[in-house]
Amino acid sequence: MSILAKSQAAEIQIGPAALEDVPRVIEIDAKITGEAKAEFWYSFFSGQGSNPKRSFLVARDEGRVVGYIIGTVRAWEFGSPPSGWIHAVGVDPTARKAGVGTKLFNEMVEFLRGAGANTIRTMLHIDDHLLMSFFRTHGMAAGPFVELEMSAEQT
Amino acid sequence: MKLQQATRYAIWAAVETASRPGELVSAGDLAAKFGVSQHHLAKVLRTLALAKIVSSTRGPAGGCMFIADPRRLTLYDIVSLFESDWWNSENGVREGKGTTVADEVSRVLREIDRITSATLRSVTIQTLINNAARRRRREAAEKAGAGPSAQAEALEAAAKAAGG
Ligand SMILES: CC(C)(COP(=O)(O)OP(=O)(O)OC[C@H]1O[C@@H](n2cnc3c(N)ncnc32)[C@H](O)[C@@H]1OP(=O)(O)O)[C@@H](O)C(=O)NCCC(=O)NCCS
């Protein structure tokens, strides 16, 4: 159950992540995915400073971080013109369903658009219906690319 | 994937009633709007009422009202009311089982079923309503590319269309 009422979402501040926010982001991500990926988050954070096409945003409720989103504009990978990738989004389970995810998403789309993206893209697990539902609510739908994979083990 | 007629009517009826919250919509109204038989539609509405998606009131002033949560009700919920085993392409198929070729074909069909299921489970009625509104706004803006006053007019027309 969310401890934030919908009206409280208006108080939520979205802004760039600071170094001292990273441990809290790692904690929320670990709560969601069951894995603490410190190296990944610190390296995304440090890479962001030198790359104007990358953004790491957090949502703060009275100073406390309750959500995060990261994105990058990438060009010509997979033969695609500049597009904005949302790599991850997460809201603390105690702060959900109050519009925090929507605020993070909208800010990120603004950033990616400003950084030259014509398309916004993401990739997620096929069985993650909650997240897929969230992205679809904001107008996203399957695009013209398909992910293919195979085991890298030798057969 | 081809949906049965009843499934298509049910989705249209759910979206139409959900976009008119609190309103009692008559089956005749819905049938006229979509150009479909009122008799067929009434049957579909009965199923939706049993599933507590709409409430229905009989009589001359009767009609149905959307009572589910449009942000949670998905296409999957509606489709599975009408199509019993669409998600399993190979339901009931026995011959060839266990042969390498048949197993490989099964794997491909399961891949397709998985994508279909994930898509239907993640599209809510509200998403359909939002996307339709977005498309109307985009089309209005494109049409009105001419000038700011024409643009305002077209947006107004789109807002009116969205309301009715
Ligand atoms: C998806 C997520 C970001 C949504 O955050 P949130 O702050 O709760 O989102 P919002 O309140 O802005 O919700 C926006 C819309 O998303 C959809 N949505 C959100 N929660 C939902 C749920 N439980 N079921 C269905 N739809 C839902 C709704 O359409 C909602 O609109 P509504 O509030 O009008 O109903 C959050 O649930 C989350 O962090 N999930 C885990 C994400 C994850 O797995 N990340 C790791 C891999 S990247």
- In this structure, are B46 and B13 located in the same domain? yes
Enumerate residues 6+ apart whose C-beta is below 8 A from A90. Answer: A25, A28, A29, A32, A67, A68, A69
Q: Quick one: B49 and B93 in the same domain?
A: no
pLDDT surpassing 60 at residue B164: no
**Average pLDDT value for chain A:** 93
Rounded to 5 degrees, φ, ψ at B141 are: -65, -40
In a domain, B76, yes or no: no
Arithmetic mean of pLDDT, A123-149: 95
pLDDT (0 to 100) of residue B154: 64
A44 CA distance to ligand 1 middle (Å): 23
pLDDT in tens, B60-75: 677 899 999 999 999 9
DSSP chain A: --SS-GGGGGG-EEEE--GGGHHHHHHHHHHHHS---HHHHHHHHHHHHT-TTEEEEEEEETTEEEEEEEEEEE-SGGGPPSEEEEEEEEE-GGG-SSSHHHHHHHHHHHHHHHTT-SEEEE---TT-HHHHHHHHHTT----S--------S--
Reported confidence tier of residue A136, pLDDT bands at 50, 70, 90: very high
Same domain, B16 and B29: yes
Q: What separation in angstroms does the CA of B103 have from each of A152, A153, B97, B106, B156?
A: 22, 21, 7, 5, 56
| pLDDT for res A73 | 97
Residue B77 falls inside a structural domain: no
What pLDDT is stored for residue B71 in this prediction? 96
Residue B161: what pLDDT? 61
The percentage of chain A sitting over the pLDDT mark of 70, rounded to a whole number, equals 94
Sign of the C-alpha dihedral, residues B39, B71, B161, B57? positive
The closest-lying atom of ligand 1 relative to the alpha carbon of residue B124 is 29
Instruction: Read off the pLDDT band of A2 (50, 70, 90).
Output: low
Domain match, B59 and B30 both: yes
The arithmetic mean of pLDDT across residues A77-99, rounded, is 95
Give mean pLDDT, residues B84-111.
77
Note the ipTM here.
0.86
Give domain status of residue B22, yes or no.
yes
**How many structural domains comprise chain B?**
3
Give one DSSP letter per residue of B42-77, joined into a string. Answer: HHHHHHHHHTTSEEEE-STT-EEEE-S-TTT-BHHH
CATH number of B10's domain = 1.10.10.10
Cα-to-chain-centroid distance, residue A77: 19
| Mean pLDDT to the nearest integer, B83-91 | 71
Distance in Å, CA A134 to ligand 1 centroid: 5
Residue B12 shares a structural domain with residue B54: yes
Nearest by CB to residue B127, choosing from A127, A137, A142, is A137
Residue B41 and residue B18 share a domain: yes
Q: Look at residue B163 and tell me whether its pLDDT is greater than 60.
A: no
Domain that includes residue B114, residue range: 85-122
- The verdict on B29 and B12 lying in the same domain is yes
Which residue do the tokens 């690319």 mark?
Answer: A145
Contact (Cβ atoms closer than 8 angstroms) between residue B51 and residue B66: no
B163 is written with which tokens? Answer: 């309301």
Give the residue, out of A134, A137, A138, with the most ligand 1 atoms within 8 A of its beta carbon, to mutate for a pocket test.
A134
Q: What atom of ligand 1 comes closest to residue A131's alpha carbon? A: 1
Same domain, B57 and B13: yes
Write the pLDDT tens digit of every residue in A56-70: 999 999 999 999 999
Mind listing the domains of chain A with CATH numbers?
6-137 (3.40.630.30)
- Claim to verify: residue B10 and residue B65 sit in the same structural domain: yes
Mean pLDDT of A106-116: 97
Are residues B67 and B10 both part of a single domain?
yes
Residue from the list B115, B121, B127 with its beta carbon closest to the beta carbon of A129? B121
Beta-carbon pairs below 8 A across chains A and B: 30
Question: Is a pLDDT exceeding 70 seen at residue A1?
Answer: no
Cα of B110 to ligand 1 centre, how many Å? 28
Q: Mean pLDDT throughout B134-142? A: 92
Co-location of B110 and B65 in the same domain:
no
Residues A123, A132: contact at Cβ < 8 Å?
no
Average pLDDT, chain B: 86
Could you tell me if residue B79 is inside a domain?
A: no
In a mutational test of the A interface, the residue from B108, B127, B129, B135 whose CB has the highest number of chain A CBs within 10 Å is: B127
Residues B113 and B132 in one domain: no
Residues A90-112: what's their mean pLDDT? 97
pLDDT average, residue stretch A22-34: 97
Span B9-24, average pLDDT = 96
Q: Per-residue pLDDT for B87 more than 90?
A: no
Task: Give CA–CA dist A99/B130, Å, rounded.
Answer: 16
User: What pLDDT shows up at residue A118?
Assistant: 94
How far is the CA of A114 from the CAs of A52, B4, B142, in angstroms?
A: 10, 44, 22
Residue A26 has what pLDDT? 98
Nearest CB to A133 within list B114, B124, B130: B124
Q: Is residue B80 included in any domain, yes or no?
A: no
